[in-house]
Amino acid sequence: MIDLSGKRVFVTGATGGLGKAIAAGLAASGARVALGYNSAAAGAEALAAQLAATGHLALHAPVTDTAALTGAATRIRATFGGLDILVNCAGMTRFVPHGDLDGLDDQVIDEILRVNVRGVIAVTRAMRPMLDASGKGVSVNTSSIAARTAMGSNIAYCASKAAVDNLTLSRALARALARAPKIRVLSVAPGLVDTDFVKSLDESWRNEQAARTSLGDLAQPEHIADAVVAAAGLLTYSTGSIIAVDGGRPLG
C-alpha cells in the first residue's frame, strides 16, 4: 500500500461516485481528507465519518463559486495547517446524443464548461499557495478518455475534458507550476466507469460498452481511486502526464 500518512488532501466533488472512491482510497492510505461538496452536505458529513482514520473534514466548496473556494482554503489552512494534494474531481454532464445539437442547449454547454474547465482552474488558483508551501504539492485532475476519443455523454463534455488535458491544465498548468517550490500536475483519464450515472442508463447499452472494452468490463470507481493514489504518492517524478485508466477501451 502507498503510504500517504501525514498528507493533507482536498477532493472536490467528493460526494459523487468517483469522489467517494477517491476519498476512501486516500484515507485508507493514511491521508487526512477535506471533502468538497456543492449541495450534498449530509452526504459529505456521513462520508467524513465513514472514512478510515479520523480528522476528515466536509467543506461546502462549489467549484463555480470563487468566494466559497477562498473560504474553503481558509478553513483547510486553519484545520489542517496546509495542503499537500489537490484532487479536482468535481464535474458534470448530461447524456445528449452527439448528433442532437438542438438538445445540447446553451445552458447545458455553459454549465459543463463552468464546472469541468473553469472550476478546475478556480480551485487550483485558490489552493496554490498551500500547495506551494507544501514543497511537494501535487494536483491530480480527473479527466476522461473522451478528450482523445471524442466519444462521451455529449460533445461539450468531450470538449471540456480535452481542455483539461490539452489546453490548460495537465500540460500548460504543469509548466506554470513546475517551479521552485514545485507542484506536480497530472490527469487521470478514466474510460466508462460503472457509476450510478452509468447504471441509470440503458442496461443493454451498458453491457455492449463493457463487451467492447478490451479487458471485458467497465472500470469500477476503485480503479480510478487507485490511479489517483498512485499519482499522488508513487509517481513522484511525473508531471504534465495523462494516465489512462480505461481497460484498453480505445483498442476495441
Q: What is the DSSP letter of 145?
A: T
> What is the bridge-based pairing of β-strands 241-245 and 32-37?
unpaired
In which element (H, E) is residue 87 found? strand 85-88
Residue 241 CA neighbour count, 13 Å, CB half: 15
List the strands of the sheet with 85-88, edge to edge: 57-60, 32-37, 8-11, 85-88, 137-142, 183-190, 241-245
Handedness of CA 143, 146, 149, 150 (dihedral sign): negative
Closest by alpha carbon to 210, among 191, 227, 190? 191
Shortest CA distance to 87 belongs to which of 16, 1, 6? 16
Q: Given the residues 157, 189, 191, 243, select the one marked as catalytic.
A: 157
**Is 37 in the active site?**
no
Amino acid (1-letter code) at residue 173:
L
Find out whether 143 and 188 touch, Cβ atoms under 8 Å: yes
Give me the active site residues, please. Answer: 157
